[in-house]
Amino acid sequence: MPPRTTPTERQKRLGFELRKMRTAAGISTDYAAGLLGLDRGKISNIESGVRAITPERLRTLACHYACADTDYVDALVSMAGKSERGWWEQFRGALPMGLLDIAEMEWHATRLHTTQVIHLPGLLQTEEYARSIFGGVLPTLPRLEVELRVAHRMQRQQVLDEGRSLQYTGYIHEAALRMQFGGRKVMREQLEHLLLMSEGENTVLRVVPVESGALPGAGNPMAYTEGPVPQLDTVQLDVAGGPIFLSAESQIARYRAHLDWMERVALGVEQSRDFMHRIASDL
């Protein structure tokens, strides 16, 4: 298979897991290359996501790495297998790759948790609310890119469609509910949409009131996606330079603790719905 010039985060994650498995087994790159009849440079490329690996070769490596976790190996094989072209590919070359990586990450998640302090969750935004956010980016985005980002965000929301099994929990700080992006009318319609979506069978929204005090992580927005096995959980952070994806065990544990804090202090589901309804009624 020819090398890739720009691997996706999912492809890089597969390579990261293979490297982690190899080093845990105490096996050298040269030895792994010999198992597959490749030169060591190609093993390095596989482990960086630059070069693909077939499911058969992945199972060969897992066997020699003495990995006994069959569920984990099966999940990696699924990642290595040929997949259908995702809807986000239509935006490749038109939007930053990080936005496409977020969509792919959500698409393959089994459960998703988000925390928001300033903006409302992207998966629950209305078009006008999203447009007001992208319209406020500095330096100012061209009008075409604003519209492309809005269209991409709207299409991301299909992961919450009926028929898909994704379980979604969103923790929303009171500040995000009161920030009037786009003005009072846009915000009122946005809150009404939140209330509607909160009635979905697979969607749980919980409000963190200002009385909760200081927030872990300085209140940065975060998405925690659960994979088919715990080893493939991923954390995605929004920062000024674009999304950051974290997968090291210590990092995952840290942000799992953030979610545990949110769960402890957030209002219950019905209390949160009443809270959002009161704010919407005041607009």
pLDDT digits (tens, 9 = 90+) for 29-62: 999 999 999 999 999 999 999 999 999 999 999 9
Q: What is the pLDDT of residue 218?
A: 72
Q: Give the three-class secondary structure for 229.
A: coil
Q: Which of 51, 80, 109 is the last residue of a domain?
A: 80
Task: Give every strand in the sheet of 203-208, ordered side by side.
Answer: 203-208, 167-173, 111-116, 222-226, 234-239, 242-246
User: For residue 174, is it within any domain?
Assistant: yes
Q: What is the pLDDT of residue 274?
A: 97
User: For residue 169, is it within any domain?
Assistant: yes
Phi-psi region of 163 (alpha: psi -120 to 50; beta: other; left: phi over 0): left
- In 3-state terms the chain splits into helix, strand, coil percentages (rounded to 5) of 55, 15, 30
273 and 227 in a common domain = yes
Question: Identity (one letter) of the amino acid at 133?
Answer: I
pLDDT tens-digit series, residues 197-224: 999 889 999 999 999 988 887 778 999 9
Residues facing 236 on adjacent strands = 223, 245
Provide the token pair at 92.
């490749």
The overall longest dimension of the chain from CA atoms, in Å, is: 68
Q: What is the pLDDT of residue 150?
A: 98
User: For residue 200, is it within any domain?
Assistant: yes
Q: What is the pLDDT of residue 1?
A: 54
User: For residue 37, is it within any domain?
Assistant: yes
**Below-50 pLDDT ranges, the chain:** none
175 and 36 in a common domain = no
Q: Which of 21, 56, 80 is the last residue of a domain?
A: 80
Report the C-alpha gap between 108 and 102 in whole angstroms. 10
91 and 65 in a common domain = no
Per the structure, the complete domain to which residue 38 belongs is given by 9-80
